[in-house]
Chains A and B, each alone.
Chain A
Amino acid sequence: MTITRTAQSTTRILRFDRVQRSAHWANATLFGVLMFTAIPLYFGSFFGIVFQRHVVEQIHLWSGLALPLPIIVSLLGPWGQQMRRDVRRFNYWTRSEISWMRTLGKSPLEADKFNPGQKLNAIFIGAAIIVMLATGSMLQWFRFFPVPWRAGATFVHDVFSYAIFAVVIGHIFMALTHPGSLRSIFTGRVSEKWAKTNAAGWFKEEQLTKDSPEPR
């Protein structure tokens, strides 16, 4: 059986390779488990009787320790070329991207593969993983830290978890209201039309390297 993709309208461009999609969903699963288990741990007064706290704690602990793995593995392996390239995109911003973010999307922008909002989401998640892992470890191995630090770590862990809930819910909301983008994290591909509309800069860049084979 052969599938031919000739018509302009059906041309699909690779946005996320397999490594990136796996990393995203592994990361999303861990975040989901951590957020789900965080609720009864935080609101202990209400959930104390319903849940086996110890079991919930262990799930939260081990998911937390595993949290950096999807990103590290997908970045560092020989398979991580696309991943590393996108991390550079997240990191380096042009002046017009910065002003687009400052004006909340009102200033003109020929968008990169990711718009500044998407970049900020990725950056925040990266920072959140580092901070939550550090403070969470201090809560688990508290004996090595003075009591005021333990209290401070609890405070930071709580405040960041509030922010994570807000950002993740926002991320899911944006995904559900943007079907083209949402589809690409499942299939890896976007239509040319999507790319021209949402990532014009990236689209032009892709056209220049069009003939090179795309990794899948």
Chain B
Amino acid sequence: MASANTHPASNEPVKRIAVGRRTILGLGALGALGIAFGNSIQNFLGNAFGSGLGGILPGGDRFRIYTITGTLPKVANHDYRLKVSGLVERPKTFTLADLQAMPVTSFTKPFQCVTGWRVPNVEWEGVLLSDLLDTVGVKPEGVALTFESYDRADTESLTIDQAHLPDVIVAYRMLGAPVTTEHGGPVRLYVAQMFGYKSLKWLSAIRVVNTVQPGFWEQNGYPVNGWLDGSTGPTNPEPSLE
């Protein structure tokens, strides 16, 4: 084809193709497909490559590190204390060694943020919250828990029933290592069936109370019961440990 034929000022009409419009529509369609199926693609990649390589893939196993205060509270292992008080028979302050001496619960479960990102296959290890509550003995009038954080800003809540779910743990290991400061170490909460904001980081205190006191994120508009399935009650009181 002679190049002169393509000259815009030539008298001969030149056939032109709207490449720009097609490309933009094509990329837009790809984006829409990605929104619809990205979750499945991501889960597939996460399962195919595991949490190691998955971390460097776009949208793969990647935690977004959030803090309310803008800083990460650093707590040394030997300084760590978990104060359990309120409507209990035997109030107790646990050290990290105390927690590690208790029966160990571990499982592999995803971390799902309410804003959309998700990290599949996270290894969790710690103490069942129900074991901890059995140690201190919840009084009959205690119906809910209030959690506090070393960041002095975040708070959370669970009902006593929710706290007894077999996948709610006080975790001191995560991703095959001690919980790092970014992830809320040395000790954090992990509530498997709820969105990530319920899994309070840098856990410093648990109080047994007689009413549910909405935590920081709930006061900012998030559901008090942050069930992953969007329901308002414990629809799955005896979940299987997948």
Interface residues of B (CB under 8 A from A): 1, 3-9, 14-21, 23-24, 27-28, 31, 34-39, 41-42, 58-59, 62-67, 70-72, 112, 114-118, 180-182, 228, 230
CA distance A45 to B8 in the complex (A): 53
> In the complex, what's the smallest C-beta–C-beta distance from B15 to chain A, in angstroms?
7
Residue on A nearest B42 in the bound complex, by CB? A155
* Contact pick for A147, options B6, B182, B228, CB 8 Å: B228
The answer to whether B58 touches A151, judged by C-beta atoms less than 8 angstroms apart, is no
Number of interface residues of A (CB under 8 A): 61
The answer to whether A208 touches B67, judged by C-beta atoms less than 8 angstroms apart, is no
Task: Say yes or no for A98: interface residue by CB 8 A criterion.
Answer: yes
* Contact pick for A44, options B14, B15, B63, CB 8 Å: B63
Contact sample, A vs B, 26 pairs, CB 8 Å cutoff: A53-B67, A54-B70, A91-B19, A93-B18, A93-B19, A94-B14, A110-B3, A123-B20, A124-B27, A131-B31, A134-B31, A142-B114, A142-B115, A147-B230, A148-B39, A151-B117, A151-B118, A152-B34, A152-B116, A154-B38, A154-B115, A155-B39, A155-B42, A156-B31, A159-B34, A159-B59
Task: Say yes or no for A8: interface residue by CB 8 A criterion.
Answer: no
* Contact pick for B65, options A48, A54, A90, CB 8 Å: A48
Interface residues of A (CB under 8 A from B): 41-42, 44-45, 48-49, 52-55, 87, 90-99, 108-110, 112, 119-120, 122-124, 126-128, 130-131, 134-135, 138-139, 142, 145, 147-156, 158-162, 201-202, 204-205, 208
Chain B positions within 8 Å of A135 at CB level: 31, 35
Residue on B nearest A206 in the bound complex, by CB? B9
> In the complex, what's the smallest C-beta–C-beta distance from B76 to chain A, in angstroms?
16
The answer to whether A159 touches B19, judged by C-beta atoms less than 8 angstroms apart, is no
The answer to whether A96 touches B17, judged by C-beta atoms less than 8 angstroms apart, is no
Chain B positions within 8 Å of A138 at CB level: 35, 116
The answer to whether B7 touches A53, judged by C-beta atoms less than 8 angstroms apart, is no
Known: A49-B72, A53-B70, A126-B24. A151 touches B34 (CB 8 A): no
CA distance A33 to B241 in the complex (A): 44
The answer to whether A92 touches B115, judged by C-beta atoms less than 8 angstroms apart, is no
Residue on B nearest A122 in the bound complex, by CB? B20
CA distance A87 to B19 in the complex (A): 12
> In the complex, what's the smallest C-beta–C-beta distance from B95 to chain A, in angstroms?
25
The answer to whether A160 touches B6, judged by C-beta atoms less than 8 angstroms apart, is no
CA distance A145 to B72 in the complex (A): 30
The answer to whether A112 touches B34, judged by C-beta atoms less than 8 angstroms apart, is no
Residue on A nearest B4 in the bound complex, by CB? A110
The answer to whether B58 touches A162, judged by C-beta atoms less than 8 angstroms apart, is yes
CA distance A126 to B8 in the complex (A): 24
The answer to whether B35 touches A48, judged by C-beta atoms less than 8 angstroms apart, is no
CA distance A150 to B195 in the complex (A): 13
Chain A positions within 8 Å of B6 at CB level: 94-97, 109-110, 201
The answer to whether B182 touches A124, judged by C-beta atoms less than 8 angstroms apart, is no
Chain A positions within 8 Å of B20 at CB level: 87, 90-93, 119, 122-123, 126
The answer to whether B116 touches A139, judged by C-beta atoms less than 8 angstroms apart, is yes
> In the complex, what's the smallest C-beta–C-beta distance from B234 to chain A, in angstroms?
18
The answer to whether A48 touches B67, judged by C-beta atoms less than 8 angstroms apart, is yes
